[in-house]
Amino acid sequence: MAFGCDGQRGSENGSNGLTLVDSKVDLGTARLGVIGGSGLYGMEGLEDRRSVTVQTPYGPPSDELVIGRIGTVEVVFLARHGRHHSYTPSEVPYRANLWALRSLGVRWVLSVSAVGSLQEQIRPLDMVVPDQFIDRTTSRQTTMFGEGLVAHVVFADPFCPVLSRLLADVAESLMPEGRRLHRGGTYLCMEGPAFSSRAESHLYRSWGCDVIGMTNHTEARLARECEIAYSTLAMATDYDCWHEEHASVTVEMVIDNLRANASLAQQIVRVAAERVAAQRPPSSSHHALRHALMTPISEVPAATRQRVDLLTTPYWGPWAS
């Protein structure tokens, strides 16, 4: 089955001695992806919207992808857990989701996610644009590669600093009185779907973590391999279970605060999309595979070449059986 690819032909000498193709990125026609988490299952304000079903070599994505327009930029929206919240954090088909977005020309992703706060100063209903991760998941597929092809992407700065700055500037300008936007911070990604124990929550606080969630690290890792710039708008819904003066997190608490944040998050994403349309910011993420493909092309199994052709075409040219 063919899954499609894109890329431009040219020439460049790669580190493995092969003649590679030109990896220039045409951001003038690129799309913006929006991944909605718990409580954000649709995207308001999209004009000329249509739904598409994408087949991927990693199986079906979480749901149909909705394509529309905000100003001069086309936006692709995907509900991370499905529109009816059908996938646990570990069941989310992350690889299919990111492959589908990349196949539709997405080169920037804004992720909207619910998180618990691990620090006093990050109050429920505040928002955070984090800049670091600690991963505590245990059962996720965290690479698009493998099966005869090794890629080592740089992940020291897991969120795109350019896109995150743009998102934080927009969010800070729109925060209502009494609520804050926090720039930077460490996102602890746990397996879920249960919330933390008190001992775990205190441990993560002792590590200096700022917020806790269940999805974004996996997503960001795969986005980097897909050469997509990635940033997160994290919506604090609770104090997890560490805070002695506040009730421990419950589903009801999370849902109530998600509803309170929903319209603000929609507004922030709409304005951020307009900024992306105006600036079309380049990112080092857009060339993440340039020096990352370690296996000589001649040694990569044909089935693997076909599976990752969408990603490797800018460097190796299109796969042909």
Which residues belong to the active site? 238, 240
CA atoms of 22 and 25, how far apart (whole Å): 9
State the CB neighbour count (10 A cutoff) for residue 226: 26
DSSP state of 277: H
- R_g over Cα of the chain: 19
Cα gap 113→128, rounded to integer Å: 10
Contact between 80 and 112 under an 8 Å Cβ cutoff? The reply is no
- Please spell the DSSP secondary structure of 154-211, one letter per residue: --SS-S-HHHHHHHHHHHHHHPPTT--EEE--EEEEE--SS---HHHHHHHHHTT--E
Of 63, 113, 83, 315, the C-alpha closest to 214 is 113
Strand positions, DSSP E, the chain: 12-13, 19-20, 31-36, 47-52, 65-70, 73-79, 106-117, 127-129, 132-136, 181-183, 186-190, 211-213, 229-238
Question: What are the phi and psi torsion angles at 236 (to 5°)?
Answer: -75, 125
Token duo for residue 51:
């739904």
Closest among 166, 170, 155 to 282, alpha carbons compared: 166
User: Which H or E element spans position 260?
Assistant: helix 251-279
